[in-house]
Amino acid sequence: MNLILLTGSEAQDALASDEFQEHWRALYERCPWASACQHPGFVLPWYRLYHDAFLAVVVIARYPEGGLAGLLTLARPRAGGAITAAGERQAEYHAWLASPADADGFILAALTVLRRAFGGVELRLRYLPPGIPLGWSVAGGGAARHCVLHASRRPLVHVDASAMARQRSKKNHRQNFNRLGRMGRPAFEKIDSHARFAEVADDIRSQYDFRQAVLHHQTPFRDDPRKLPFLFALHERGLLHVTVLTIDGEVAASHVGLLSPGRAVHLGLNTHSPVYAAHSPGHLLLAMLGVRLAEEGMPLFDLTPGGDEYKEHFATGHDLVFELVAYGSGTRRLAGQVRSAALHCAKAGLRAAGLRRADLSAIRAAFPEMLRRWRACVVDCVRGRPHGRLAAGWLVRQAGAAPGDTLRPALARNRLADALCFDEAGAPLGYWQFQRQAISRMEHSRQLYSLAKDGKLLVCCWLAIGAAGALPPELRPVTDGREGAILLFDLYRHPEFADRACVVDFIASLLHELRRRGMDGPIAVDCGWNPELRQMFEANGFAAIDRAPLRRDGESPPVGLREAGS
């Protein structure tokens, strides 16, 4: 077995040849532990899209007669850090390709070559898939003496048609499907057409980023503009399994997972719209996906390692996967094991306290927000305002007042992409707090109307509807005792959006949209201390009423409010 190490453009050119790819695909088929992450349709697009951030590192082994005996596709961050597999975090499984008889010899030789070329640089492969030979690590000689394996439990669904049907027919899934059916027409769809995938991709991207922003203070697609083109490349090559649950054509939930053809579908991007969150559309989609996989003859739905509780709800079995760390020296191995043990203890402590690592991020992010509020308190005191409370600035627009026919800007309703464009500069809320507030309000049936341009949220306003009795007493007479009182609140304008006339037009557009939806009853808005905001609403037919009770800044509208009609 002859090994060569290639890096950079030389490595990519070697992999790109038609002859090499033919041998690569043949080796992939002979390798029982291979996943989609080692397929040329995955590795080559990733190398191409991420070449400016990662240096391609490839170890190739050939038989004496010239056939491909082994392949290890790696990447070294150009900014520094450990070498990892091609795909980095977007590859759920990191592995080398070889026939079972050659696997141990190939990886030991590859580790030796890498140590010579990169000295003390660590190699981290997370996770090694089940079935990959690890006998070489037990011997402990040569390059293996610097390697450590960490085991993780992986939940699985062994796809069986009758079991999948029982899962789909569980009471909670039936109830949620029926409740969603009362909101519109639900439909489950497997997306094979690339054009159709492009149609729903923006919704999937926004839902995923929105949820990640709240849970982990990350927006993966916004932070990585190459991520969506990479998914498109995978879908074109048949390595993505995409399903959506729609309500009247609107994406309520989605799943985008890697497809290892004939072997498994791997849990990937699992999203849902917060508008439908009360009816668990994400869980319902996974139950329906199980039935679809049974129809397709897929033997395994890999729920992937991780501590998410919902995975155990669906799992029918478990196995083990491993993280491999190859340290640069014995000393570094010892230090790494100490760090790993400390991290394991810290995670165990967090679990015992009912916390996650994301909770620590939220706590850290709270300090700037506390400072922001403290500064606001000082400003309010200097200006003579009662901090933390809004002056009663209720305005009401009576029923039947029709908006003008002037051409107005088109508004979006509950568009997550607009919420993700929020700019905290000069705003009363920080970015992550705004996202948390937005998802909480949408999950509780509040509606967000917004106007964004060039990737920036210019203006938005929240809307809720509720029983007349749930409103403050001073507002009840203007509702004429009718149900469905409309309340507008928390109108936000970007500090750079100084055009007052455009905000007036935004309000007019909002009123026009409400009338179009049949909501032409009295509308109340709390303008607080803001005289300019009062004038903009008064320009759209609102008028002042007697003082209403104060409410604390940041509180939700009065209880009993529900979603506006669709």
pLDDT tens, position by position, 413-469:
999 999 999 999 888 889 999 999 999 999 999 999 999 999 999 999 999 886 555
Domain residues for 363?
Answer: 357-387
What is the CA angle 118-123-129, rounded to 5? Answer: 145
Q: Residue 208: inside a domain, yes or no?
A: yes
- Percent of the chain having pLDDT more than 70? 80
As a whole number, mean pLDDT of residues 329-353 equals 66
Q: Is 342 helix (H, G, I), strand (E, B) or coil?
A: helix
Q: Is the predicted pLDDT of residue 406 greater than 60, yes or no? A: no
pLDDT tier at 228, thresholds 50, 70, 90 = very high
CATH number at residue 46: 3.40.630
- Whether 370 and 398 share a structural domain: no
- Whether 124 and 166 share a structural domain: no
- Whether 197 and 256 share a structural domain: yes
| Identity of residue 86 | A
Strand stretches in 425-538, DSSP E: 447-453, 456-466, 485-493, 523-526
CATH number at residue 516: 3.40.630.30
pLDDT tier at 335, thresholds 50, 70, 90 = low
Question: Counting beta carbons within 10 angstroms of the beta carbon of residue 514, is it exposed (0 to 12), middle (13 to 18) or buried (19 or more)?
Answer: buried
Ordered alpha helix ranges (H), 119-160: 135-139
Q: Residue 319: inside a domain, yes or no?
A: no
Q: Is the predicted pLDDT of residue 543 greater than 80, yes or no? A: yes
Q: Residue 305: inside a domain, yes or no?
A: no
Residue 389 pLDDT? 38
Range of lowest pLDDT (31-45, 185-199, 462-476): 462-476
- Kindly state the tokens that stand for 302: 């890999």
The mean of the pLDDT values for the chain is 87
As a whole number, mean pLDDT of residues 472-492 equals 69
As a whole number, mean pLDDT of residues 540-558 equals 55
- Whether 383 and 422 share a structural domain: no
Task: Among 344, 365, 387, give the residue marking a domain's end.
Answer: 387
Residue 495 pLDDT? 86
Q: Residue 549: inside a domain, yes or no?
A: no
- Whether 206 and 90 share a structural domain: no
Residue with tokens 């990640």: 212
Whole-model pTM: value is: 0.88
Q: Which of 156, 115, 508 is nearest to 326 (CA)?
A: 115
Contact indicator for 83, 123 with CB cutoff of 8 Å: yes
Q: How many of the other CB atoms lie within 10 Å of CB of 342?
A: 10
- Kindly state the tokens that stand for 67: 């056939």
> Is pLDDT larger for residue 333 or for residue 105?
105
Q: Residue 283: inside a domain, yes or no?
A: yes
Backbone angles phi, psi at 414, to 5 degrees: 55, 40
Q: Residue 510: inside a domain, yes or no?
A: yes
> Is pLDDT larger for residue 509 or for residue 481?
509
Task: Among 97, 117, 148, give the residue marking a domain's end.
Answer: 148
pLDDT tier at 559, thresholds 50, 70, 90 = very low
> Is pLDDT larger for residue 523 or for residue 184?
184
pLDDT tier at 366, thresholds 50, 70, 90 = low
pLDDT tier at 485, thresholds 50, 70, 90 = confident
Q: Residue 312: inside a domain, yes or no?
A: no
Q: Is the predicted pLDDT of residue 107 greater than 60, yes or no? A: yes
pLDDT tier at 563, thresholds 50, 70, 90 = very low
- Whether 367 and 224 share a structural domain: no
Q: Residue 348: inside a domain, yes or no?
A: no
Residue 244 forms beta bridges with which residues? 189, 254
- Whether 361 and 495 share a structural domain: no
Residue 556 pLDDT? 43
- Whether 130 and 23 share a structural domain: yes
Task: Among 148, 178, 207, give the residue marking a domain's end.
Answer: 148
Q: Is the predicted pLDDT of residue 566 greater than 50, yes or no? A: no
Contact indicator for 261, 238 with CB cutoff of 8 Å: yes
Residue 177 pLDDT? 98
- Kindly state the tokens that stand for 121: 């640089």
- Whether 133 and 179 share a structural domain: no
- Whether 494 and 433 share a structural domain: yes
Q: Is the predicted pLDDT of residue 344 greater than 80, yes or no? A: no
How many independent structural domains does the chain possess?
4
Residue 425 pLDDT? 87
- Whether 382 and 397 share a structural domain: no
- Whether 538 and 397 share a structural domain: yes
